């Protein structure tokens, strides 16, 4: 089956630094990728929709200058958390859509900002 | 308003017990996924359903599209099944997630 690889699975960074998370579709072309964030004791919430070759669409309340999304190719989307703060510590996960039918998840990234 | 409701929120079972986790949703969907999240955060996709029933090992997932309801069953539960199980539905391309069911299986 199709695979979406997300890297890194865990990252610890210092406050004020930037962290990049990659989401790759390994055996299919993903025209659309989605980024989600999980708050403690809450369900995963959509942050933004990433379309190949165009600007990402951010959900209300998500700072686009803080969470930079790039979808430069049909197999790779990146989420960069800029000037990270401890409150950005969370679990981030991507999903990728193949055509308009199948959708697959990355394994997720646990970010800890110290 | 949650588009996806899961029950129970927490579940403790003895090893060997049959376990059922329920998911109800309020939107029309093209697919429903069951996900497993172990302590530490990594997510594994268990099933993708659009109708009927699927089985993989000791796991069985069913969906009733008319009733907007899905169940995940675990037969002969084992402590390694301890995890959070999340139901996710797709009305379009994006997902809506339940808050998860935290399962603990005691030896």
User: Quick check: A41 contacting B, CB < 8 Å?
Assistant: yes
Tally A–B CB contacts below 8 A: 59
Model pLDDT, residue A1: 58
Q: Give me A74's structure tokens.
A: 């049909």
Model pLDDT, residue A99: 65
> How far, in Å, CA of A91 to CA of A83, rounded?
17
> How far, in Å, CA of B52 to CA of A30, rounded?
27
Asked which of A27-31, A89-93, B19-23, B63-67 is least confident by mean pLDDT, the reply is: A27-31
In this complex, the residue of A34, A91, A104 whose CB is nearest that of residue B41 is A91
- Judged by DSSP in three states, B78 sits in coil
A94: Cβ contacts below 8 Å, ≥ 6 apart: A4, A6, A21, A23, A33, A34, A35, A36, A77, A79, A105, A106
The residues in A 80-109 lying below 8 A from B, measured between CB atoms, are 91, 93, 95, 97, 100-109
pLDDT tens digits, one per residue of A73-85:
889 999 999 999 9
Residue A100 has pLDDT above 60, yes or no: no
Closest-CA residue in chain A for B4?
A43
Closest-CA residue in chain A for B40?
A110
Residue B97 has pLDDT above 80, yes or no: yes
Q: Which residue, B81, B59, B80, is CA-closest to B70?
A: B59
Model pLDDT, residue B33: 93
């Amino acid at each position: 089956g199709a695979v979406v690889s997300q890297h890194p699975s865990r990252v610890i960074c210092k406050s004020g630094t930037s962290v990049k998370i990659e989401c790759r579709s390994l055996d299919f072309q993903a025209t659309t990728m989605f980024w989600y964030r999980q708050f403690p004791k809450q369900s995963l919430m959509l942050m933004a929709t990433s379309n190949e070759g165009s600007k990402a669409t951010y959900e209300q309340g998500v700072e686009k200058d803080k969470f930079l999304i790039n979808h430069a190719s049909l197999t790779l989307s990146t989420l960069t958390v800029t000037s990270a703060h401890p409150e950005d510590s969370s679990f981030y996960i991507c999903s990728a859509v193949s055509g308009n039918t199948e959708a697959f998840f990355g394994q997720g990234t646990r970010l800890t900002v110290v | 308003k949650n588009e996806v409701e899961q029950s129970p929120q927490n579940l403790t079972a003895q090893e060997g017990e049959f376990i059922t986790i329920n998911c109800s949703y309020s939107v029309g969907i093209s697919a429903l996924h069951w996900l497993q999240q172990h302590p530490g955060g990594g997510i594994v996709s268990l099933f993708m359903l659009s109708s009927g029933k699927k089985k993989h090992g000791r796991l069985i997932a069913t969906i009733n599209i008319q009733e907007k309801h899905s169940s995940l069953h675990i037969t002969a539960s084992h402590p390694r099944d301890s995890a959070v199980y999340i139901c996710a539905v797709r009305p379009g391309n994006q997902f809506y997630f339940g808050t998860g069911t935290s399962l603990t299986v005691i030896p």
